[in-house]
Amino acid sequence: MIPTRAGRFFRRAARSCVSSLCILLVLLFAAFDCSGSEVPSELGDQPLVTQLLEMAIPVGETRIVPVSQVTRAAVGDPSIVDIVVIGPDLILANAKAPGKTSLHFWTDSGVEFVTVTSYRDLSEVIGQAAELIGVDTVRLTPAGSSVILEGFVESSEQKERIVKIAAAYFGDVVDLLKAPGAAGSTEDEQIRDGILSLIGGVDIDVKVVRGKALLTGVVSSASDKHAVEAIARLYVDEVISLINVKVDEDKAPEGRPSEPQPAEPGVGQLAAVQVIRGTEVTSVVASREEQL
């Protein structure tokens, strides 16, 4: 029987359907095979990340990285952390500068990813800076990557030197040091002001350094001298007195210095009742010289 045109059309359509069905079956089997593998199809031949680790290493120190069977390694930023491969089971990480970077290690089972934070050990740096500064009244306190300077110094020059030394060790220096003449009185200045407020009317210069009082000047009588020294001892334990007593040559007998004259009214007297270092002062300090 001679095939008609319609028969030939249906046979060609049937063959096309069979071919399409075969292609569809092949694609389905391929997709099923990929879904059952360990590596996602979108990753291609890339190995799996099998481990995520974190490490913290002080700058200048070395740590062993807890990985094994390493076949290849890579470092994110070698300027922060570098590695030394001793063997497939022994990798050393060297911290070179403060910062954070990543290490990648390829093994038989995949890739191990290690995040390393490199930091500066401030306790050691604080000790080095404090030793170089060499001032007992100055305290260094770390705060992040900065340092806070607190305490008292003897002069603005000493303060400037301390700040420069601290800046050599730290990127940011918070200066809270107090020096004579700067805003805010130091403890020594407060002591000096207290002594001067009680010896009004006497030409005496007072310097207080680290809790020690130095008295210089000239007074008209020994009573005034003793009064000033007694007032200073109310504030500090150690008083260095270089006060001189002026001699009245017109009244003194020849060959003898004049006798000490009683203090004039108002000299060495206290304006009000005060309690200083646990001592209540209610009268003229010069009258207590026999008790000192």
- State the chain's mean pLDDT as an integer: 74
For residue 202, give the amino acid letter: V
Q: Which residues contact 51 (CB under 8 A, 6 or more apart)?
A: 67, 110, 112, 113
Burial (CB < 10 A; 0-12, 13-18, 19+), residue 45, is exposed
**264: confidence class by pLDDT, cuts 50, 70, 90:** very low
Q: Give 136-181 pLDDT, tens digit per residue.
A: 889 898 876 778 898 888 888 899 999 999 998 887 888 888 876 6
Under DSSP, the state recorded for 199 is S
Residue 164 gets which letter from DSSP? H
pLDDT for position 14: 62
Q: How confident is the model at residue 277 (pLDDT cuts 50, 70, 90)?
A: low
Higher pLDDT, 13 or 267: 13
Domain boundaries of the chain, sorted by first residue = 47-119, 122-178, 187-291
pLDDT at residue 42 tops 80: no
Q: What is the pTM of this model?
A: 0.35
Distance CA 83, CA 77 (A): 11
CATH architecture of 47-119: Sandwich (2.60)
pLDDT surpassing 70 at residue 279: no
CATH 3.30.1340.30 for the 122-178 domain, yes or no:
yes
3-state helix, strand, coil in the chain (%, to 5): 30, 35, 35
Looking at 76-90, 98-112, 181-195, which range is the least confident one? 181-195
Average pLDDT on 70-85 reads: 91
- Distance (Å, whole) CA 192 – CA 213: 8
Residue type, 284: V
Domain 47-119 identical in fold to domain 122-178: no
Only one residue has tokens 């007032």, namely 231
